[in-house]
């Protein structure tokens, strides 16, 4: 393949990796932030539970985890294509 095709493949790969992985990461972080805001609001209103408990964080859902793994795999493939572009040009 010509070197510019490898560069185009790398750019498309990075864009697709971003489009696949970023919404899942953003949903995970916004849910975590919402949970923190709820706890702070209840503490401010004096209605927070005062008994120490383990963290109630749910973590990522299976769909979010799959999308992030797919985004990482695509980014690695795009990085390899970029490396191939530099090696062949």
User: CA angle, corner 81, sides to 12 and 1, nearest 5?
Assistant: 95
pLDDT at 41: 73
pLDDT at 55: 56
| Structural domain count, the chain | 1
- Range 36-43 contact pairs with CB under 8 angstroms and sequence separation of 24 or more: none
pLDDT at 44: 74
- Per the domain annotation, does 10 fall within a domain? yes
- Provide block-wise average pLDDT over 10 residues at a time, the chain (89 residues): 94 97 90 71 71 64 94 97 95
CA torsion angle 73 77 80 84 (round to 10): 180
pLDDT at 49: 67
- Per the domain annotation, does 48 fall within a domain? no
The pTM for the full model equals: 0.73
pLDDT at 48: 67
């Amino acid at each position: 393949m010509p070197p510019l095709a490898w560069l185009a493949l790398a750019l498309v790969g990075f864009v697709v990796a971003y489009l696949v992985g970023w919404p899942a990461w953003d949903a995970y972080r916004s849910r975590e932030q919402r949970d923190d805001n709820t706890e702070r609001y209840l503490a401010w209103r004096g209605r927070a539970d005062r008994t120490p408990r383990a963290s109630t964080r749910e973590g990522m859902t299976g769909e979010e985890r799959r999308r992030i793994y797919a985004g990482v795999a695509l980014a690695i493939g795009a990085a390899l294509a970029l490396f191939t572009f530099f090696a062949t040009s």
